[in-house]
Amino acid sequence: MEIMSVQNPRVKEWAQLLERRGRDKQGRYLIEGYHLVEEALRSGAAVECVVYSVDKDLPSGLLEAAGVAVEWIAVSQAVLEKCSDTQTPQGVFAVVAKRGMTADELLEARPDLAVILDGVQDPGNLGTIIRSADAVGAGAVVIGRGTVDLYNPKTIRSTMGSLYHLPIVEADLQELLPRARERGMRLVTTSLQAQRSCYETDLRQPTWLVMGNEAKGVSPEVAALSDVQVIIPMQGKAESLNVAMAATVLLFEASRQRLVSELP
């Protein structure tokens, strides 16, 4: 199938997915670039169609990764530009239906290491945290209200495909976290006023790391639900770490402790 005109109804629908309102209305989102599209196809994401430049051959690697239900559509450069938020479109994008784990399913799965995000605003920070969680084999990332949209194109790009490697759950933290504590999850938050170092805290037990807003940190309501507050010791003159870096440090410290405990 080919679509050349930017006035085509399907093209107009795709372009709406560049905005959160359009994504929420349609229950779909866009991913752009060969790597992201391939990761989505290989991981079994709900890819509805793959759209590629009519001036290039159909990507053979994507064909190999795809299932039989995927629609392939060749389009003009003008269509690619209309459906991209980058200055230089990468020549291929896909439309994917939203499909995620529910809060109830998450609690049933009981991941013993997860990251909980309370009001993280920067798309790059969210994407980096998801990549770090993926890197250490964490069981889930939970996005609380007030956190930037997971399906923001900048967020998706910064995950580098990791959003397809672990469950990402959108939930009301005030409702979810008490239930998680009842099931034995230990809620750990960071605070510059904390007295306990993260390196002196046992992170081998089931632990959910709660990270807060870039400027304000974890909200008082969510902090009140935590079991322990920790600080990341710093020998230099920096007052604090970027939230994505702080989450990465804690994730890898939790991973290190677990690996060390498994050594003979």
Report, as an integer, the average pLDDT of 20-49: 94
**With contact defined as beta carbons under 8 Å apart, do 10 and 64 qualify?**
no
CATH 3.30.1330.30 domain locations along the chain? 2-97
| Amino acid of residue 54 | V
What distance in Å separates the CA atoms of residue 55 and residue 161, rounded to the nearest whole number? 26
- Strand pairing class (113-118; 140-144): parallel
Tell me 217's DSSP state: B
| Sequence-ordered list of residues with C-beta below 8 angstroms from that of 40, at least 6 positions apart, any chain | 31, 47, 94, 96, 161, 164
191 falls in which pLDDT band (50, 70, 90)? confident
What distance in Å separates the CA atoms of residue 41 and residue 164, rounded to the nearest whole number? 10
CATH 3.40.1280.10 domain locations along the chain? 103-262
pLDDT 10s digits, 124-177: 999 999 999 999 999 999 999 899 999 999 999 999 999 999 999 999 999 999
- Per-residue pLDDT, 1: 86
Query: What are the C-alpha distances in Å from 2 to residues 12, 30, 51, 63, 122?
Result: 15, 19, 9, 17, 36
- Per-residue pLDDT, 215: 87
Would the pLDDT of 264 be above 60?
no
Count of all residues that appear for the chain in the document: 264
- Per-residue pLDDT, 124: 96
Would the pLDDT of 195 be above 60?
yes
Quickly list H helices, 51-118.
60-65, 77-82, 103-109
68 falls in which pLDDT band (50, 70, 90)? low
Of 142, 135, 134, 137, which Cα lies nearest the Cα of 164?
134
Of 243, 201, 195, 194, which Cα lies nearest the Cα of 223?
194
**Fold of the domain spanning 2-97:** 60s Ribosomal Protein L30; Chain: A; (3.30.1330)
Tokens of 195: 């007295």
What distance in Å separates the CA atoms of residue 91 and residue 114, rounded to the nearest whole number? 35
- Per-residue pLDDT, 182: 94
- Per-residue pLDDT, 241: 84
CATH of 103-262, one of 3.30.70.100, 1.10.3720.10, 3.30.390.10, 3.40.1280.10: 3.40.1280.10
Q: Could you give the count of Cα atoms lying within 13 Å of 242 in the half-sphere of its Cβ?
A: 11
- Per-residue pLDDT, 212: 93
- Per-residue pLDDT, 87: 81
pLDDT 10s digits, 216-258: 889 999 999 999 999 998 888 887 789 999 999 999 999 999 9
Q: Which residue has the tokens 């529910």?
A: 102
**With contact defined as beta carbons under 8 Å apart, do 19 and 39 qualify?**
no
Angle at 189 between CA 184 and CA 190, to 5 degrees: 155
Q: Is the pTM of this model over 0.75?
A: yes
What distance in Å separates the CA atoms of residue 46 and residue 40, rounded to the nearest whole number? 8
31 falls in which pLDDT band (50, 70, 90)? very high
- Per-residue pLDDT, 202: 93
The per-residue b/e assignment along 163-191, b for 16 or more CB within 10 angstroms, e otherwise, is bbbbbbbbbebeebbeebeeeebbbbbbb
Crossing angle of helices 123-136 and 243-262, rounded to 10°? 10
